[in-house]
Structure 1
Amino acid sequence: MTDSPITDPKALRALSHPFRWKLITLLSDEGPSTATQCSAKLGESVASCSYHLNMLAKYGFVEEVEGPGRQKPWRIVSRHQSISTEGLEGEAALAAEAASLAYLDQEYERTRERLRQYDHLPYEWREHVGFTGATAFLTREELKQAQEELRAVLRRYEERMENAELRPEGSRPVRFFLSATISPE
């Protein structure tokens, strides 16, 4: 999905904190959670989780939802954040770069942690887990088409994130991280 890039420097700075990406990831993967539940899953204090959730809410990345009892769960507003320095200058460009790097750091940490768990996976899953790199000579149009095709494949399964009833028996959360970079001329 291609949402408009975030251009507000303050919103971008809110995303430059690595722990906030962990919260976004947790809420995206597991659905609405209270600050207490986030604390238990991420090993951070409830006060810290609450503070960072409120900061994310201030810029529209998460919101509180009605729930039973006094504690209100938080949910992700959008699973898709688009960050780019394109068209930004000065503080906004620096904030976009910092937010992008914080996201990448969190994504790499997540990938490393899951790869550390490789030996604990059932054998039938192991042969499909890992990473690969490839270089292809593409035109700009071909790159755009390849990205659209890859996103279309992943969108086929997107509803399963929102609706657990659509998940086939035996399915597990599988993380894909796609990156396209261009070599300098």
Structure 2
Amino acid sequence: MPDSTAHRIQLLQGDITKVKADAIVNAANSSLLGGGGVDGAIHRAGGPAILENCRKIVARQGGCKTGEAVITTGGRLPAQYVIHTVGPVWNGGHKNEPALLANCYRNCLALAQEHGLKTIAFPNISTGIYGYPKDKAAAVAVQTVLHYLAQHDVPEQVTFVVFDPENLRLYEEQLAHLKS
């Protein structure tokens, strides 16, 4: 991994709703109207302005498809924006799940670039109720972000925010493997 790309990735264990970044990513569902896990936490912490923005997007385009991304205000969050993406439901890896998950990361990064956002923080997309195996999801996340950063100057900093020690270890392994 080139040094110019390596220093642009950070790993943090904690609560993504408390991360100060230009944008945080929400692992949303296709309705964009809130849910459980990270999605519910972001909507609760960010307040009603996020849901209001999401409702306008739904009225305009009818939700968000798997692998796609949309951007809203960050409301009361420390982040100025929330980029909502819909990860794939794991079906054993036979329904294009890795490509769909990679699209989530690419489309979020492209939206950040389009809006001139220098910093973005990602949660573990699809690893909760959608059942994507954590090790496989970490590999897709790290590889996709590294590939994107190698080709683009913005965003300048990407942070993977993991909630539990297991994901921390999986991301550390992915990043160490790529650095060697």
Is TM-score (shorter-chain normalized) higher than 0.5? Answer: no
Q: Point out the structure with the larger helix share.
A: 1
Q: Scaled by the length of structure 2, what TM-score is found?
A: 0.28
Q: Point out the structure with the larger strand share.
A: 2
Higher alpha-carbon Rg? 1
Considering Cα pairs closer than 8 Å and 6+ residues apart, tell me whether 1 or 2 has the greater RCO: 2
